[in-house]
Structure 1
Amino acid sequence: MSDNKRVHFIPPIPKREKRVGIYCRVSTNSVEQLQSLTAQVSHLTRITAATPQWLLADVYMDISTSKTGSSRKEFNRMLEDCQSRKLDIVITKNISRFGRDTVETFDALNQLKTLGIRVIFEQEELDTANTDSDLIISVIESVAQAENESRSENIKWGIKNRAASGKSKLYDRKCYGYKHDAAGRLIIDEETAKNVKLIFDLYLNGQSVIGIITELERRKIPTPTGKEKWCKRTIDVMLSNEKYTGDVMLLKSGKSEVQYLSSDNNPAVISKKIFEAVQAEKKRRSNVVKNESGSNRKNSKYSSKKR
């Protein structure tokens, strides 16, 4: 046996002392979202396993929406486990997956901070153990703003997409003179439709909007909301609503670059001929004349008296 023994130091294997909880959330149970959920869990599990002294204690997975009152059983279970001191660290993919809004995120973080629980947002590289609170708040607010802007764009896209495909519920949105049948389609409400016809007839016979209001109130005809007093805007909107001819125009505001027209969408209360005559009369009565050099007002406004 040789006297030149070589002794090698073997460091002890670190004891995994920090209990880690992984939290993941997706908003729907679509195939794509469920695949995303699996990817989140797999990625965070690898991070936990590769970190000395970390022990995976539990995985919390929610499939919930951003709607108020939407169930987040796993999120609540995670908070309960933190209160019971079953976890030391919570790791999640990003801020938007952790909370549905800034209020919920702040409330949860404050609660966990009080309990001494460390929260790590992997994507933003934020760790409450070594990050200034003001910086975390600033990042959360920035992420929330970006999420809101993205959500707004998605909503607008959805509205346009449904309008283009003819599936938008706005095509069958009820207005004065109509009601819904059992299937949710527009049908004429004879009781109020006769008032719509009266309003169009009065206007073509020379009455101003104020004059129409006076006549409606004299006849004790209630407003669409059941009130005694009519307002000018209600009459203006009715006289410009092509839905009364059976057609529906969506996204017709000046802010939209596209418009969608559903012809013969619903039964007509007013003929197209009468409707077009009213539009021409409204243009004639307008106190603004547009020309190449700009918009110039007329010297005198249209009289509210009958001609």
Structure 2
Amino acid sequence: MRVVKKNINIHTPPPYKILKVAAYCRISTLHEDQLCSLENQISYYENEIRKNKNWKFACVYADKASGRDITKRKEFQKMIFDSKNGKIDLILTKSLSRFGRNTLDTLKVLKELKELGVDVYFENEKIYLLQQKSELMLTIYAALYQNESEEKSYNIRWGIKRSFESIDTKYQNRICYGYCHDNDGKLIIEPAEASVVQKIFEIYITGASLRKIAFELNSRGIVSPRGFKTWSCETINKILSNEKYAGNVLLQKTVVKDFFSGKQMINRNQDKYLITGCNPVIITENKFNQVQTEKMRRKSDKSKKY
């Protein structure tokens, strides 16, 4: 059996022309297998560049980030900055999808590099940026990769939503302040934290403000859920609003705003899923409802002042 060694298919320039060559790699998760893949890509490209006598190694830029937002990829931004400063003549990358999953942003960057005279070789697509008629093909590929990413994102969200509808959903066993996991991964009460939760509810019902409760906890030297020495009003408000303390779980309280931003926002229009009696009770349902009523009353009183 004949073994064929794969090499990057790049046309080498005349001997007198030495190109400053860089490479760009990206993974979207921090899973161990992807981290290993990133290390392999970095090593692969550096070796390919250094062994070519007509190339000068510039850098291998590598990001661990989603391809949806170019501005959040520091290494990518550094590569563009170095290109503008004449440090790069050619960029190697495995695929156009590594450059980004947002068609508009990707094409904008490619246009910028083209105007700078910086070529890009996309290995999977076998396309050079500075080749004639490459623009059409790159536009098509960019649109395909964005659509692929959108479909994957939709399928993940759909799967999560279906799991919400299942009575055995794993989301009901997520830890929050006042609980911990037993050996089987089920929620059990963490006594010291649960005592703080109960105190917060009791003080609030007596008429204390969030600021006063925070002051009380801080003065007692009680550490916040995130390990801070001081409690914020927002943290206390979230505890007072968490139905889990009454033994219930409300799922899909937040949703992803859109594919491009990936930001979570309060769910005001889509279905929510309430699972009752699914974990140990720290606050009785009657007391929890009392607090919610009191919160609404205070909110209403505050709005009447304006």
Return closer, same or farther for 1:145/1:167 CA change in 2, 3 Å cut-off: farther
Query: Unpaired runs of 5+ in structure 2?
Result: 7-26, 52-93, 107-120, 255-266
Whichever of the two has the greater Rg, that structure is 1
**Aligned-residue offset at 1:169:** 2.7
Alignment of 1:270-285 (within 5 A): 270-285=283-298
Deviations 1:119-172 (A, max 9, x none): 786xxxx97798623333323322222122212211110110111123433211
**Aligned-residue offset at 1:101:** 3.3
Give the distance between the partners of 1:216 and 1:243, measured in 2 at CA.
Answer: 21
Give the distance between the partners of 2:205 and 2:122, measured in 1 at CA.
Answer: 72
Deviations 1:244-270 (A, max 9, x none): 011101013424521212211110100
- 1:145 paired residue number: 146
Give the paired residue count.
Answer: 211
Give the distance between the partners of 2:192 and 2:289, measured in 1 at CA.
Answer: 24
2:304 counterpart of 1:298:
yes
- 2:172 paired residue number: 171
Give the distance between the partners of 2:270 and 2:198, measured in 1 at CA.
Answer: 32
Give the distance between the partners of 2:240 and 2:37, measured in 1 at CA.
Answer: 46
* Aligned partner of residue 102 in structure 1, secondary structure: helix
Return closer, same or farther for 1:222/1:251 CA change in 2, 3 Å cut-off: same
Identity of aligned residues (%): 34
Q: Is the 8 A contact 1:102 1:144 kept in 2?
A: no
**Aligned-residue offset at 1:104:** 9.0
- What TM-score do you get using the length of structure 1 for normalisation? 0.56
Return closer, same or farther for 1:104/1:282 CA change in 2, 3 Å cut-off: closer
Letter in 2 for 1:69: L
- 1:132 paired residue number: 133
Q: Is the 8 A contact 2:204 2:210 kept in 1?
A: yes
Give the distance between the partners of 2:36 and 2:242, measured in 1 at CA.
Answer: 38
Q: Is the 8 A contact 1:186 1:267 kept in 2?
A: yes
* Aligned partner of residue 144 in structure 1, secondary structure: helix
**Aligned-residue offset at 1:70:** 6.7
- 2:35 paired residue number: 69
Q: Is the 8 A contact 1:197 1:270 kept in 2?
A: yes
Give the distance between the partners of 2:166 and 2:304, measured in 1 at CA.
Answer: 43
**Aligned-residue offset at 1:235:** 0.6
Letter in 2 for 1:284: R
Return closer, same or farther for 1:148/1:256 CA change in 2, 3 Å cut-off: farther
RMSD over aligned Cα atoms: 4.2
**Aligned-residue offset at 1:221:** 0.9
Return closer, same or farther for 1:264/1:100 CA change in 2, 3 Å cut-off: farther
Q: Is the 8 A contact 2:96 2:122 kept in 1?
A: no
Letter in 2 for 1:216: L
Alignment of 1:89-108 (within 5 A): 99=95, 101-103=97-99
* Aligned partner of residue 217 in structure 2, secondary structure: helix
Q: Is the 8 A contact 2:95 2:124 kept in 1?
A: no
- 1:160 paired residue number: 161
* Aligned partner of residue 69 in structure 1, secondary structure: helix
- 1:27 paired residue number: none
Letter in 1 for 2:292: Q
- 2:78 paired residue number: none
Q: Is the 8 A contact 1:217 1:228 kept in 2?
A: yes
- What TM-score do you get using the length of structure 2 for normalisation? 0.56
Give the distance between the partners of 1:203 and 1:66, measured in 2 at CA.
Answer: 43
Letter in 2 for 1:101: S
Give the distance between the partners of 1:70 and 1:101, measured in 2 at CA.
Answer: 19
Give the distance between the partners of 1:260 and 1:188, measured in 2 at CA.
Answer: 23
Alignment of 1:1-307 (within 5 A): 67=29, 68-69=34-35, 99=95, 101-103=97-99, 132-253=133-254, 254-287=267-300, 297-299=303-305
* Aligned partner of residue 35 in structure 2, secondary structure: coil
Deviations 1:153-192 (A, max 9, x none): 1111011011112343321111000001111111000011
Query: Unpaired runs of 5+ in structure 1?
Result: 1-18, 22-64, 85-97, 107-116, 290-296, 301-307
* Aligned partner of residue 286 in structure 1, secondary structure: helix
Give the distance between the partners of 1:118 and 1:268, measured in 2 at CA.
Answer: 57
